[in-house]
Amino acid sequence: MSAPFLPFTRPTIDDETIAGVAEVLRSGWITSGPQVKAFEAKLSEYVGGRPVRVFNSGTCTMEIALRIAGIGPGREVITTPLSWVATSNVVLDVGAKPVFVDIDPLTRNLDLDRVEAAITPATRAIIPVDLSGLPVDRDRLYAIAQRHKLRVIEDAAQSFGSSWKGRRIGAIGDFVSFSFHANKNLTTIEGGCLVMNDEREAKLAEQYRLQGVVRTGYDGMEVELVGGKYNLTDVAARVGLGQLPHLETFTTKRRELARLYFELLGTPSVRALGLRLPVADFTHSNWHMFQVVLPEERLTIKRADVMAKLHAAGIGTGVHYPAIHLFALYRRLGWKDGDFPNAEYAGRNILTLPLFPSLTPADVERVVDALVTVLTAHLKP
């Protein structure tokens, strides 16, 4: 009997949460309601009492943060070219211009040494990304932002459960955007939340969340700005409420599995293959993903072939992410090959390996054995 297929990620949802979702469905109140309020309260508690509002994605949260900050046409926002394309698409959505800065090849996050050179009189914000859950250096980031009077919209989609110097991501900083997509460490199936600085921003977020509507009394309704349809359902919020108590357990298990990956991939024979491993951070990172970078110059096959061979061996992998500036949309806006060499190399060769709480040590050994076998068989002479 063959071993079961290993996806690169799989959510863990317990029976109590499933039963809770059934209760919500039976209640008749399935869109935004008491479960959303309860989830927002728990999330606010998690980030030290800061205002939190939940939404139907971790994309609209960044767009809304930009709108609250007053960033629109004629303005520039600095960000990374190595992320899910939503990170820069939201800048285009508000009419502003994304300005890419290359990544640090070790952390794969925005290279803070290059940021200040990209700042112009039109720059109004920075959107850093915590790739795979590894936080960008918050001290250096905010020092730059304060020197140049810039807003920060933290794309912390992947770093819920991560921390910086003993404080949870979200508990400090400016705007902090989290995603609760199905592949995240905490899921609401689809969804996200925005952490803000005060109740004024929270009220604006509520307006942007639902068509700009402000209600008063039984029948009072006013619309003061153009909003969207971004509310989270009570069904999704109940999933999040069930996930939150398990977050620390999930993070602990992910760290244990990441340590095993380092142990197995860190032997001299494996390191000789030229595989680039992530930063071994077990203090700050939530280990949302375990990503390696393939040594393309040493292989006779491309990443897609490696993925296909692993899939044939019953192992799923992912690509997070291609370099944004090389998509057709961004090429039409003027970017080209060679603009950001570090991001481009990672974009061609980064490979996400299976990592989720129900993965076993034997599963990790199986992944590493299969990966090493494929790479060894396709090294250039």
Which residues are the active-site residues?
184
Residue-wise DSSP of 270-282: HHTTTPBP----S
Residue 273 backbone phi and psi in degrees, to 5: -70, -20
Distance from C-alpha of 69 to C-alpha of 166, rounded to nearest angstrom: 28
Distance from C-alpha of 143 to C-alpha of 362, rounded to nearest angstrom: 44
String of b and e for 253-275 (b: at least 16 CB within 10 Å)?
A: bbbebbebbeebbeeeebeebeb
Query: How far is C-alpha 325 from the geometric centre of its chain's CA atoms?
Result: 18
What ranges in 69-111 are assigned the alpha helix state H? 86-93
Distance from C-alpha of 315 to C-alpha of 367, rounded to nearest angstrom: 7
Q: Is 248 helix (H, G, I), strand (E, B) or coil?
A: helix
Q: How many residues does the chain have?
A: 381
Query: Which residues have C-beta within 8 Å of that of residue 67, sequence separation ≥ 6?
Result: 94, 204, 208
String of b and e for 173-206 (b: at least 16 CB within 10 Å)?
A: bbbbbbbbbebbbbbbbbbbbbbbeeeebbebbb
Q: Is 290 helix (H, G, I), strand (E, B) or coil?
A: strand
Distance from C-alpha of 344 to C-alpha of 115, rounded to nearest angstrom: 18
With contact defined as beta carbons under 8 Å apart, do 286 and 254 qualify?
yes
With contact defined as beta carbons under 8 Å apart, do 186 and 250 qualify?
yes
Nearest residue to 187 (alpha-carbon basis) of 41, 284, 288: 288
Q: In what order do the strands lie in the sheet with 52-55?
A: 52-55, 192-195, 175-179, 151-155, 123-127, 76-79, 97-100
